[in-house]
Structure 1
Amino acid sequence: MNNIDAEVIVPLRVEHAVVMAKIEKLAHTHPWSEMSLKECFGPLYRVVGIKRQDDLCGFAIVQQIIDEATLLDICVAPEKQGSGLGAALMQQLIDDAKNAGAVVLMLEVRQSNKAAKYLYDKVGFIEAGRRKNYYPTHDGYEDAILMDLSLD
């Protein structure tokens, strides 16, 4: 897998879910549970992490069915955000999806998540639709922006 400076991207195993859940709780307002993360280790999923030495700094989960890959979650520890780790994970996901025969990588993102939307725009994702009032917020709901990246 990819090496960038002192970071390395590696496949993760279900036992990493404990640390993934800790990162998730720090990074997201509505984090996935440890159990939900554990359910993403199976034949339809790829789960990769980015490590610095032995410290897990972030992770991503992709589900692929035939030639359609969906980014379900990408998460970098808050203190490590802005250092290129998310971009490195995203490039690895794109490469892995292409190598596995995917023709499209899809995702959805909260409309308020400007940092993630910037990353997705930067690598070429385009808005494909919206789910109105999809994500809960502290004071109501917000839209999910559906995005696609063509891989062929």
Structure 2
Amino acid sequence: MSEPQFRPMGEADVDSVLRIEFAAFSHPWTRGIFLDCVKSGYECWLMFLGDQQVGHGVLSAAGDECHLLNLTVKPESQSNGLGGKLLEHLLRRGRERGAETVFLEVRESNRAAIHLYERTGFNEIGRRRGYYPAVGGREDALVMACTLFD
């Protein structure tokens, strides 16, 4: 597999982002959320293999902290290391913006994502009860954090 390439997400990319988002999640982000992130100057990135868009991510950075808000790899491209490559890219962008610590929330049922984050150095620091909408109710989020090193 070739190395993925990255480019910033713009407003014109939101339709292609939503196609992946809706394929990957039962409760995807909306067009308005992605547009707000792009307009707010968040680190919004697309990931490509060749000319095929295979993922996207969103990171907000302020002061010495950043928050991973979205990390999505299209379902048919999952389980081959692309999530780790996208995470690595976003964490590098956070460091470049001066962040020393990164935070995230993840569904407690998303074992693959939790495993990726733990392998990358994240630790669980808390839980948000009923944070995520879920089929038949709400689902807890694990709050995780990682120290960024140069």
Q: For this structure pair, what is the TM-score category when the shorter chain's length is used for normalisation? A: over 0.9
TM-score, normalising length: structure 2? 0.93
- For residues 1-152 of structure 1, what are the structure 2 equivalents within 5 Å? 5-152=2-149
Name the CA distance, whole Å, in 1 between partners of 2:96 and 2:121.
18
| Residues 128 and 143 in structure 2, CA contact (< 8 A), matched pair in contact too | yes
Cα pair 1:9 1:49 within 8 Å, conserved: yes
Which runs of at least 4 in structure 1 moved beyond 3 Å after TM superposition? none
* Distance in 1 of aligned mates of 2:55 and 2:128: 27
Unmatched runs of 5 consecutive residues or more in structure 2:
none
Amino acid at match of 1:53: G
Deviations 1:122-144 (A, max 9, x none): 10001110011221211222211
Q: Is the 8 A contact 2:47 2:55 kept in 1?
A: yes
Q: How many residues align?
A: 149
Q: Tell me the TM-score normalised to structure 1 length.
A: 0.92
Amino acid at match of 1:73: N
> Percent of pairs identical after alignment?
34
Take 2:113 and 2:11, find their aligned partners in 1: how far apart are those partners?
25
State the shift of 1:42 in Å. 3.2
